[in-house]
Chain A
Amino acid sequence: MRISGKGLISGGRRVNFSFNGVSYMGQEGDTLASALLANGVHLVGRSFKYHRPRGILTAGSEEPNALVSVGKGAAQDPNIRATQQEVFEGLVARSQNCWPSVGHDVMALNDLAAPFLGAGFYYKTFMWPAPLWEKLYEPVIRRAAGLGALSGSANTEPYEKAFAFCDLLVIGSGPAGLMAALTAGRAGADVILAEDDSRMGGRLLAEMEEIDDKPAHVWVAEVLAELAGLDNVRLMTRTAVTGAFDQGTYSALERVSHHLPPSQSLKTAHRPRECFWRIAARATVLAAGAIERPVAFRNNDRPGIMTAGAVRAYLNRWGVAPGERITLFANNDDAHRTARDLVAAGVHIAAVIDSRHDAPDGRDFSVIKGAVVCNTSGRKRLETITLRNVSGEEKIQTDCLAMSGGWNPSVHLTCHMNARPVWNRDIAAFVPRAGAVPGMVVAGAANGSLSTHAALAEGAGAAVAALGQLGITAEAPALPRACDAPYRISPLWAVPGKGRAWLDFQNDVTVKDVAQAAQENFRSVEHMKRYTTQGMATDQGKNSNVAALAVLADATGRSIAETGVTTFRPPFVPTTIAAMGAGAAGQGFKPQRYLTSHRTSLKRGAANTEVGLWYRASYFAKEGETTWRQSCDREVMMVRNAVGVCDVSTLGKIDIKGPDAAKLLDLIYTNLFSTLKIGRVRYGLMLREDGFVMDDGTTARLGQDHYVMTTTTAAAGQVMAHLEYLSQVARPDLDVRFTSVTDQWAQFAVAGPKARALIDALVAEEINGETYPFMACGAITVGGVAGRLFRISFSGEHAYEIAVPARYGEALFDLLVTRAEAEGGGAYGMEALNVLRIEKGFITHAEINGTVTAFDLGMQGMISKKKSCWGKVLSERDGLMDEDRMRLVGLKPKGAAQELSAGAHLFEPDMTVERVNDLGYVTSVGFSPTLGHMIGLAMLSAGPDRLGDTVRLVDHTRGVDTLCEVVDPVFFDPEGGRVRG
């Protein structure tokens, strides 16, 4: 019920919204929770396990009960806390975990079966038979015990991520946070003030009190006005700091547009739903406040039973009285403010019950001292409470009970780096351990200082101390006059008695469950948690964990300090995967690298294939070709008989310069490069330090101190890092520098008997056997553009690679292909390139797979005996030179199937297909149109000693089981006459 003229949103615009299909009116500034309470709606959802009717317990992000689904269709958001969702015109929200409706929920039968469903029920009952777990038990349990559901369709709403940096991050904008921000702001520090709520001010918005003789919210407004005027202060509302990480890194979730009608957010303002922040703060003031805890007593979970602080917040901030006959049950002085404020607002107080015999008297209400609430009634809304004291039990009519078991400082972030909080007996709560997070100072209620005066003083002091660590001098502002009433509490965790007294409202854990865990010897707080699921729901037990471990302490005869707390882990509030993964959905998941020839290749019929992040032409379909094999076969024959053009720009290209470039290359390569003549290219092999092959490729010497290295596409990054490692760590004395130029040069292979004529006609220089013999390189001019020409071959044909600056790549590729086509050639793709190289027995990373040595590849001759090199020592270990190792061979199909398959394993024909009989595996296969049958490369035990043998090839994945013949890996032109010719 709304009280006219009361609250901070009074006079705001009216907004229409719907809940469970019913239209209601709220006010601008309302949360869904405050608007529902204003409309007298208390029943909001059903509990997780027993489907008990539940209402609104709190007024903040710790809310365990009032979870709703907001929105429709793909953008539907489940498990939104009604206490945080702001009302806007057209808001549509629904209850969850109930069917057919929140009022009549079939699964509430679970509540009747409760005696059988206690702690450990699932573990004990569904143990056996195990195969039924996945198929039967789990789906049924999950359907019965669930939160809100996703829509099932892809969410197209935008999410963002962002980084922020500051001197001082202030977390929380209550009295402590505001004073910290003000102190640091005035000192000129770069400040971020982050507030979870939509409005700054913390508890000062919820309390009737004065600061410097004016209403607290007026003081808040004045401070905010000053902060807003400071360029060095950023104010972030709706931003929950969710985690504290190493070196002052904090995660935060900003709810950017959950409070806006969809039409106003993305479409007009390009706002994301949420933004996931990583904030790098040099220092931090944690002023996150405290969270009020309920008291456990029989049926303490009925709609209408709320925390006392929440009742005050609804009254003072939102002008809503959550009942007409309100009762209060507390164990501390602070809660009495609720009765005081309600009386002042003209709301009827039915009873104030305090468990302490020495509770203070109220001025405008009487206090029943030394009494407890031991039961309640009312299925969908509280109707009565039962009071118990020395004179017996008594029922009291009431529609709202405000309860308080005291306040827990929000220590969560102080524990994210493994520190444990400390038990403070004076306030019966855990407080942060000093120095728990480097660079963080805790102030105010979060630090266990529960008065406004103390919060203001500590906030200012914390900012001075935090900035002092950074060498920034700040002065605490004059301390405003504020309330310093003592807190006074006497612990009360659970009211003894029969029936179910709830601790964790969201996961339906009772006092009895925790006691049973202790009885079954789950005495460790971590074991109890997992056995009962206490604190494992989306609210992480923010208002129930401490009471639960107090009950455990009692049941196990230990003190609370001895019992200890469970581990606090990030995130502090539930965080959507969409926000954490913002930018990485769809194409952002995997960036796409395109070649300069990409567009013109597509025009020429190219089908693309992914090679790492690159997109390369797989084959170029000509008219009449209906399968990739037809195109591939044609392209192979084209290269063998005429001329083909292929974009090979994806190969890593590293420019190497310096007086010691040759020395460095002799270190990294197994063979010599210092002896390489200028204008010549050499094939090289490089090893990891453990002796296995890292990569291969060609390196050209362009000048005395200038080389350009090519790496395989796959290992470009790894080789670059390796070069830097060798030059910076192993040999910092060498004067040599590296630049990756992969993206700067477009490079095309031109291969085939007609390649020379094509190149000679194209470039300004004369190209013949004398000027460009095999493995020559040099500068050329093509169409007036300075480029490079390398006479190297990956196809076994007479071939060149021609390179130009990337901006000319598309034009040159077009020109090369056009000229090749005039000679009966054309473009070829990855499929043909692969067949051409297998025909020649050339290796790629299909063979260099991290487990092979130069010896395995038959390349031990490439390890120079004249010098040492990186990895050589360990490559010579006995085990790595064993004749029986799996070594490179060629394979030819035998028998009717004429089939080979990559990834297949090899066996003796007469042996069973078992791991112990495995002789090796197939690395690469292709159909050779040149030879008219399939060919393959394989790593085969003692392979080179088995030439001519028959082996059995088995591929369970593709259903291939056939025989093949072991042959030399070079299938075509073993003498190499074509490449030199």
Chain B
Amino acid sequence: MRIACPLCGARDRREFTYRGAALPVPALDAGAEAWSVHVHLRENPAGPLEELWQHELGCGAWLKVRRDTVTHAMLGVVLAEDAGLAARDGEGPA
């Protein structure tokens, strides 16, 4: 398996570390319910899925990878910082 890092190019999957589904991050003050859902509830689709991978043995970038869980086709890779996963409402610590 190979992942095309937007910064480094296509690299072997051994350079990457998997985290899980690329979900929007709740605001810190979003409450226990929202955080519990974020941490514990996951879709498990047969088909396209957006995931977070880090190019840990490369540039260190976190990537949002769109991947087909049935065919393993890579459907797109973007830098996670451009993926709009950060909390929209509320703010982090001042």
Task: Return the contact of B74 from the options A247, A690, A721, A732 (Cβ within 8 A).
Answer: A247
B32: chain A residues at CB < 8 Å are 873-874, 876-877
Decide: A730 and B93 in contact? CB cutoff 8 A: no
Are B79 and A728 in touch, CB under 8 angstroms? yes
Contacts of B31 in A (CB 8 A): 873
The interface residues of chain A, by DSSP majority, are classed as: mixed
For A857-876 the 0/1 string (1 means CB < 8 A from B) is: 00000000001111011101
Could you say which residues of chain B place their CB within 8 Å of the CB of A667? 28, 92-93
State whether A725 and B54 are in contact (beta carbons under 8 Å apart), knowing that A247-B1, A663-B93 are contacts in the complex: yes
A733 pairs with B86, CB closer than 8 A: yes
**Is B46 on the interface with A (CB-CB < 8 A)?**
no
**Which residues of B lie under 8 Å from residue A721 when comparing CB positions?**
17, 54, 56
Selected A-B contacts with CB under 8 Å, 20 pairs: A245-B1, A246-B1, A280-B2, A417-B72, A689-B35, A689-B38, A721-B17, A721-B54, A725-B62, A728-B62, A728-B79, A729-B86, A730-B25, A731-B92, A732-B80, A732-B81, A733-B86, A734-B92, A867-B94, A873-B32
Contact of B12 among A280, A663, A734, A873 (CB under 8 A): A280
User: Do the beta carbons of B19 and A725 come within 8 Å of each other?
Assistant: yes
Q: Which chain B residues border A628 with CB–CB below 8 Å?
A: none
Residues of A within 8 A of B (CB): 163, 245-249, 278, 280, 417, 438, 663, 666-667, 689-690, 717, 721, 724-725, 728-734, 867-870, 872-874, 876-877
Contact A874 B2 (CB under 8 A): no
Asked if B8 is an interface residue, CB under 8 A from chain A, the answer is no
Q: Is residue B60 within 8 Å, beta carbon to beta carbon, of the partner chain?
A: yes
Tell which of B17, B28, B60 touches A872, judged by Cβ atoms closer than 8 Å: B28
Contact B86 A732 (CB under 8 A): yes
> Does B17 contact A874, Cβ atoms closer than 8 Å?
no
Q: Is the CB of A246 within 8 A of B2?
A: yes
Q: Assuming the A-B contacts A667-B92, A724-B54, A730-B25, are A278 and B12 also in contact, with contact meaning beta carbons closer than 8 angstroms in the complex?
A: yes
Nearest A-chain residue to B2, judged by Cβ:
A247
Nearest chain A CB to B93 CB, angstrom units = 4
CB contacts between A and B, total, < 8 Å: 95
Is there contact, CB below 8 Å, between A280 and B10? yes
Per CB-CB distance, the 8 closest pairs between chain A and chain B, nearest first, are: A247-B2, A732-B81, A868-B28, A246-B1, A666-B93, A728-B62, A246-B72, A728-B81
Whether the Cβ atoms of A729 and B85 lie closer than 8 Å is: yes
CB 8 Å contact bits of B10-42 with A (1 = contact, 0 = none): 101000010100000100111110011011000
Q: Contacts of A690 on B, CB cut-off 8 Å?
A: 39
Give every chain B residue within 8 A of A280 (Cβ-Cβ): 2, 10, 12
Apart from A667-B92, A724-B54, A725-B19, what 16 extra A-B contacts exist at CB < 8 Å? A163-B12, A246-B72, A247-B2, A249-B1, A278-B12, A280-B12, A689-B35, A690-B39, A724-B60, A724-B61, A729-B25, A729-B62, A729-B86, A732-B80, A872-B28, A874-B36
Chain A residues near B39 (CB-CB < 8 A)? 689-690, 874
Do A724 and B62 contact each other (CB < 8 Å), given the known contacts A868-B28, A873-B35, A874-B35?
A: yes
Q: A730-B86, A873-B30, A874-B32 are in contact. Are A249 and B2 (CB under 8 A)?
A: yes
**Smallest CB–CB gap between B5 and chain A, Å?**
13
Distance between B90 CB and nearest chain A CB, rounded to angstroms: 9
Complex-state Cα separation, A717 to B57, whole angstroms: 11
Bound-state CA distance A868–B85 (Å) is 19
* A248 interface neighbour in B2, B35, B82, B87, Cβ under 8 Å: B2
Which residues of chain A are within 8 angstroms of B87 by Cβ–Cβ distance? Answer: 730
Docked Cα-Cα span, A729 to B53, in Å, equals 11
CA–CA, A724 and B17, complex, Å? 13
| Contact call B1/A868, Cβ cutoff below 8 A | no
CA distance A163 to B71 in the complex (A): 24
Q: Is B86 a contact partner of A731 (Cβ separation < 8 A)?
A: yes
A280 to B9, CA, bound (A): 13
CB distance from B58 to the nearest CB of A (A): 12
Q: Is A249's CB under 8 angstroms from B12's CB? A: yes
CB within 8 A of A247: which of B10, B38, B81?
B10
Q: Which residue of A lies closest to B79 (CB)?
A: A728
From A280, A663, A867, A873, residue with most partner B Cβ within 10 Å: A873
Q: A689-B38, A725-B54 are in contact. Are A868 and B10 (CB under 8 A)?
A: no
B25 touches A869 (CB 8 A): no
Closest-by-CB residue of A relative to B67 is A246
What's the minimum C-beta distance from A512 to chain B, rounded to whole angstroms? 40
CB A894 to nearest CB in B, in angstroms, measures: 42
Shortest distance between the CB of A670 and any CB in chain B (Å): 11
Evaluate whether A729 and B93 lie within 8 angstroms (CB atoms) in the complex, with A689-B39, A721-B17 already known: no
In the complex, A667→B87 CA distance in Å? 13
Please give, as numbers and ranges, the residues of chain A lying within 8 Å of B92 by CB-CB distance: 663, 667, 730-731, 734, 868
Q: With the chains together, A940 CA to B54 CA distance in Å? A: 37
Q: Quote the shortest CB–CB distance from A883 to chain B (angstroms).
A: 20
For the complex, give the distance between the alpha carbons of A273 and B56 in Å.
33
Q: Which residues of B contact A734 (CB under 8 A)?
A: 92
**Which among B35, B38, B71 has the highest number of chain A CB atoms within 10 Å?**
B35
Contact indicator B93/A867 (Cβ below 8 Å): yes
Whole-angstrom CA separation of A873 from B32 in the bound complex: 6
Q: In the complex, which residues of chain A have a beta carbon less than 8 angstroms from the beta carbon of B74?
A: 246-247
- Which of chain B's residues have a CB closer than 8 A to the CB of A663? 92-94
Distance of A294 from chain B, by nearest CB (Å):
36
A707 CB, nearest partner CB in chain B, Å: 15
Bound Cα distance A248, B61 (Å): 23
Distance of A538 from chain B, by nearest CB (Å): 27
From residue A421, how far is it (CB to closest CB) to chain B in Å?
18
The answer to whether A873 and B2 touch across the interface, beta carbons within 8 angstroms, is no
Chain A proximity of B32: nearest CB distance (Å): 6
How far apart sit A247 and B30, CA to CA, in the bound complex (Å)?
39
In Å, the complex CA distance between A474 and B25 comes to 48
B29 cross-chain contacts in A, Cβ below 8 A:
868, 873
Question: Which residue of chain B is the closest to A877 with respect to CB atoms?
Answer: B32
Given the complex, which residues of B lie within 8 Å of A730, measured CB to CB?
Answer: 25, 85-87, 92
Residue of chain B at shortest CB distance from A729? B80
Give the CA-CA distance A689 to B36 in the complex, in Å: 9
Collect the chain B residues with CB atoms within 8 Å of residue A729's CB: 25, 52, 62, 80-81, 83, 85-86
Determine how close the nearest CB of chain B comes to the CB of A751; give it in whole angstroms: 34
Kindly state the separation between the CA atoms of A228 and B17 in the bound complex, as whole angstroms.
40
Q: Please, which residues of chain A bring their CB within 8 A of the CB of B10?
A: 247, 280
Closest-CB distance, A721 to chain B (whole angstroms): 6
Residue from A245, A732, A869 within 8 A of B28 (CB atoms): A869
- Chain A residue contacts of B38, Cβ below 8 A: 689
Cross-chain contact B73 with A438 (CB below 8 angstroms): yes
Give chain B residues whose Cβ lies under 8 Å from the Cβ of A666: 93-94
- Known contacts A721-B54, A724-B54, A729-B85, A870 near B2 by CB under 8 Å: no
